[in-house]
């Protein structure tokens, strides 16, 4: 591992970062890591990453000169994205990922694919309105009645739930068949998945509680 922390980590990418998103993430996860070109965005926001991980093809010489050499880690292979590379070398209870949504759709799809990989740490993607995460084997969500809780399978998955208007029991979910978007909470929600690969999407106001729930949850 390049980064090992007992507390949550913020990971910034080179995609769109809305005003205040990085500060929000850092208020909850103060240790900052950049995935390649995310270092430039971090510096532009007035924050210096404590590690930069990636193939470094987006890291300009101007940015390099502002960083200590011992904080830059090149992962030369081109098979995986910089998000995947960075997560592979971070060990933390949970990673809050900023700058991986918005912009190009193919980049977002690649980020969703990385999210469900079994890597160094579980991660949460911070979006404009929602947060997106890989649903662990069991998790409790502190939602309120009327909240939208979306579930999108990246493979064939079954599971169980409490607190959803449309429960999961008896459903066979698949990206090429039935999906679980736009479900609604009737109060707090619990999810139990029979296998990995389910993306969970909840309102971003629950980010702090979601971080705690994911850090406590069993892993795949």
Alpha carbons 26 and 205: distance in angstroms, whole number:
15
pTM reported for the whole predicted model: 0.93
pLDDT tens figures, 152-188: 999 999 999 999 999 999 999 999 999 999 999 999 9
Domain at 3-128, CATH homologous superfamily? Thiamin pyrophosphokinase, catalytic domain (3.40.50.10240)
Domain boundaries, the chain: 3-128, 138-203
> Would you say how long the chain is, in residues?
220
pLDDT at 55: 87
**Which of 133, 58, 72 shows the shortest CA–CA distance to 101?**
133
The residue that leads in pLDDT, 68 or 194, is: 194
DSSP state of 139: E
């Amino acid at each position: 591992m390049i980064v090992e922390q007992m507390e949550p980590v913020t990971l910034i990418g080179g995609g769109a970062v809305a005003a205040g998103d990085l500060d929000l993430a850092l208020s909850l996860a103060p240790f900052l890591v950049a995935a390649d070109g995310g270092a430039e965005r971090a510096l532009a926001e007035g924050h210096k990453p404590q590690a930069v991980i990636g193939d470094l093809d987006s890291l300009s010489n101007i940015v390099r000169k502002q960083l200590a050499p011992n904080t830059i880690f090149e992962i030369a292979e081109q098979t995986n994205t910089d998000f995947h590379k960075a997560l592979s070398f971070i060990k933390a209870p949970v990673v809050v990922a900023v700058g991986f949504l918005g912009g190009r759709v193919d980049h977002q799809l690649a980020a969703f694919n990385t999210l469900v990989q079994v890597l160094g740490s579980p991660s949460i993607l911070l979006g404009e309105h929602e947060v997106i995460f890989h649903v662990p084997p069991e998790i409790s969500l502190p939602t309120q009645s009327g909240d939208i809780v979306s579930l999108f399978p990246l493979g064939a998955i079954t599971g169980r739930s409490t607190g959803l208007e449309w429960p999961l029991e008896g459903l066979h979910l698949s990206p090429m068949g039935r999906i679980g978007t736009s479900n609604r909470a009737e109060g707090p929600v619990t999810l139990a998945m029979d296998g990995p690969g389910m993306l969970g999407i909840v309102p971003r106001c629950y980010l702090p509680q979601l971080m705690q729930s994911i850090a406590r949850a069993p892993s795949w």
